A = this chain, B = another copy of it.
Amino acid sequence: MRKGELTRERIIAEAAPIFNQRGFAGSSMQDVMEATGLEKGGLYRHFRSKEELAVESFRYALAQAVKLRTDKLDCSHGAVEHLRSIVKRFVETPAAVPGGCPLMNTAIDADDGNTVLRAMAKKGLSDWRARLCGVIEEGIKSGQIAPETQPRRVSNTIIAILEGALMMSRLEGTKTALQDAQITLDSLIEGIRNSVNKATEY
């Protein structure tokens, strides 16, 4: 990697927590200059505008979050265990970049604001749902998950509870809401297990 690219990568990594914590309107190029120790000219050589840097920072923060939430998850015990481990991972290690979930932050920040960031958050949500739907559809195909299960509805529910509970836990400064979410989701996931399989396991 060339030196210019390295600097660019470093700026993004250091700007990501600023945008993730303070939002688009609450972050300034001045904040990024202070965090990186770069002069105005140095910063603008790599990013033409605050928006361009915010977009790259969100892309970086979301990629980090996805990596943290999916990396080395054990999916060798089938779809039900796979879903439980996705929930467990989210509850136990919710933050990759300081400031909470970049998807939710940007969704809330940009739902009435910046359209580029909004489109990226929308894509992030749709990718997340697609990954969950994929696991559920695999499970239906393999016979581990009940065939009448609606992948989209279950996926939307998992995402909604996790994101909502993360917001609550961060606001209250306790893990209670996330732990309650995990118990509810474990039971919900257990509820979509194919009853044929349930019977053989008892």
Contacts and interface: CB of A to CB of B under 8 A. Distances in A.
A51 interface: no
Given A104-B167, A108-B167, A22 B157 contact: no
A37 interface: no
Interface residues of A, number: 45
A125 B113 CA distance: 25
Contacts of A188: 184, 188
> Copies of this chain, how many?
2
Interface stretch (A39-47, A67-75, A174-182): A174-182
Given A107-B170, A107-B171, A113 B22 contact: yes
A111 B171 contact: yes
Nearest to A184: B157
B122 A172 contact: yes
Contact of A122 (B22, B104, B118, B171): B171
Contact of A23 (B23, B118, B164, B181): B23
6 contacts: A21-B113, A25-B25, A122-B172, A159-B168, A159-B177, A188-B188
